[in-house]
A and B are shown apart, each in its own frame.
Chain A
Amino acid sequence: MTSGPILRIEGLSKTFRTNNGGALEALAEASFDVSENDFVCIVGPSGCGKSTLLRMIAGLESISSGRIGYRENPVLRPQKEIGMVFQEYSLLPWRTVLDNVALGPEFGGAPRAEREAKAMEYLRLVGMANFSGAFPHELSGGMRQRVAIVRALANDPDVLLMDEPFGALDAHTRILLQKELLRVWENYRKTILFVTHGVDEAIYLADRILVMSARPGRILEIFDVDTERPRDRAHPAYGQLAERILSILEREAAFSATGTNG
């Protein structure tokens, strides 16, 4: 086992071509490392390219320039070692919860009994075993995201990318799922890269927080969060860190408002 970073992002840029022939720079020269078992959160103003960054690491988006290394190998296409959880409803609506969670092993060619046993194991982990026969439309938003998370985990990924997975949930459910995610992460110790626009969420969850600039997104600052988990939202250090990150984001928002991209 090498002690090098599990993910190495070097000078990563992304330029989209717009419909009228222009070019839109979404991400500019992002560089950072993620070490194994780390919980890293990425925060930034909306439209700063943080989702694009995650999609590139997942292999869903082409790279304009720079390099993404997963255990020293370049990432060029989706691979099962790098899983992803999406913000919107990503479960297959015609499949039951169980069949959704079993999807990864199914693509991997696992026999039915084996993949269903595995799916049940993960559903139990988040208290969803009783809903294995339900269809996604019968579940609440929070339950759907629980299923989406264990669906990604049941595929045994090395790295789990999460793109604002709790963004569409109400505040109470969001806090509940944050706690559950930490519990699962402490059991399974995956490396997690978590994109959010909630500074509070980032501080509650992360070992490290990357703060991104307004578009084109660059990594502005990296904060290490050393406090013990579970973190106390009422602790002074918690508030101070939130204050610092928010002030950076505020400056960025002001900058982008006066900047060229309006």
Chain B
Amino acid sequence: MEFRTVLVRIGAYLLVPVLFLVLWGVIDRQLNNEVILPGVGQVAALFLQPTESLIAMGSLATNVAISLVRVLAGYLLAVCLAIPLGILMGYYGTAHRLLNGFLALFRPIPPLAWVPLVLAWFGVASLASMFGVEEGTAYLYLNNLKLSMVFIIFIGAFYPVLTSAIHGVMGVRSTLLDSARVLGAGEWDIFRKILLPAASPSIVNGMRIGLGVAWMCLVSAEMLPGSISGVGYLITHAYTLARTDIVIAGMISIGIVGAVLDLFFRLIEDRKFVWTRLTR
């Protein structure tokens, strides 16, 4: 590509964000109230020192990392359960009839609505208390993974992955299944070598959406009692101290991490599933 076209492209990506920052700066100057709207520079300063401790809660980077681990824990649990279940439900009509009506009842419930019940069930129990770890570094890490948070994130990620797995399997062309059967495929071969790869573009798309939802459930999960860390908690705690600059920095970090994770999935889709676009 020509150098000029590259410049024009980069410019196109940056144009709206830059305009936004300018607008922010202008309004900030008009308002002149750092609680309602802190300055661009004030927020940028927080990002320039991401490892600096903030409001006695550890650094921005640490809190983002803690949140990421929490999201991944709930998310992985959801993926491990939703993919096999979705493949089964997509393939066996009986499994679909048995489970779909039941699962459809829970689908519309926002993850946040589970909070009171989840608190009654798990309270402030963490993976550390579950596994009986009471000291050392393992305790520090595991104690940050509260069961209630993992559950909320799990609920958020579960349905997109499940639905995409069901639809992915249902969309597998019957000729592929028939030809595999005629070649002597057993049920396990059908699952592993036909259904899973054939449905994987749809499943990965569902995983991408699921991770987005899981990430969005984070703030509500980290507002639960027993939480003393994480970006979600950092935001709510900063709010009580009227540190709007930290609130905004936290929000921007959530946005950036979510966008990077999304990009990661898009790259996988582009590389691995070329055949979906080229197969008629």
Contacts and interface: CB of A to CB of B under 8 A. Distances in A.
A148 B189 CA distance: 19
A137 B278 contact: yes
Contacts of B4: none
Contacts of A238: none
Interface in B240-280: 275-276, 278-280
Contacts, number: 71
A32 interface: no
Interface in B148-176: 173, 175-176
Interface string B182-217: 111110010001100110100000000000000000
Given A136-B279, A137-B275, A78 B181 contact: yes
Given A60-B181, A78-B181, A135-B275, A92 B186 contact: no
Contacts of B52: none
B180 interface: yes
A89 B194 contact: no
Nearest to A148: B179
B183 A92 contact: no
A228 to B, nearest CB: 32
Given A88-B175, A94-B197, A108 B184 contact: yes
Chief secondary structure at chain B's binding surface: helix
A84 B189 contact: no
A247 interface: no
A90 B279 contact: no
Size bracket, chain B contacts: 20 to 34
A107 B279 contact: no
Given A93-B275, A93-B279, A136-B279, A78 B175 contact: no
A45 interface: no
Question: Of A60, A89, A93, A103, which is in contact with the most chain B CB atoms at under 10 Å from its CB?
Answer: A93
Interface in A150-192: 151-152, 155
B197 A107 contact: no
B134 interface: no
A29 to B, nearest CB: 25
Interface string A201-239: 000000000000000000000000000000000000000
Contact of A92 (B181, B197, B276): B197
B178 interface: yes
A80 B175 contact: no
Question: Of A59, A103, A136, which is in contact with the most chain B CB atoms at under 10 Å from its CB?
Answer: A103
Given A136-B279, A137-B278, A137-B279, A92 B176 contact: yes
B122 to A, nearest CB: 41
Contacts of B278: 135, 137-138
Contacts of B186: 107
A79 interface: yes
Given A86-B179, A89-B280, A79 B184 contact: yes
A93 B184 CA distance: 19
Given A86-B175, A94-B197, A104 B275 contact: no
A58 interface: yes
A7 to B, nearest CB: 15
Contacts of B182: 58-60, 78, 82-84, 152
Nearest to B279: A93
Contact of B185 (A82, A86, A90, A107): A107
Given A90-B176, A137-B279, A104 B183 contact: yes
Contacts of B280: 89
Contacts of B200: 94
Interface in A11-39: none
Interface string A81-118: 01110101110111000000001101110000000000
Nearest to B276: A93
Contacts of B276: 93
Nearest to A81: B184
Interface string A43-77: 00000000000010011100000000000000000
Nearest to A104: B183
A104 B184 contact: yes
A55 B174 CA distance: 13
A94 B183 contact: no
Given A92-B197, A94-B197, A107 B180 contact: yes
Given A86-B175, A89-B280, A155 B183 contact: yes
A194 to B, nearest CB: 15
A80 B184 contact: yes
By Cβ-Cβ distance, the 8 closest A-B pairs, closest first, are A80-B184, A137-B278, A104-B183, A90-B179, A93-B275, A93-B279, A78-B181, A84-B182
Given A94-B200, A106-B193, 18 more contacts: A55-B178, A58-B182, A60-B182, A80-B183, A83-B183, A84-B182, A90-B176, A90-B178, A90-B179, A92-B194, A92-B198, A103-B183, A107-B185, A136-B275, A137-B275, A138-B278, A148-B179, A152-B183
Interface of B: 173, 175-176, 178-186, 189, 193-194, 197-198, 200, 275-276, 278-280
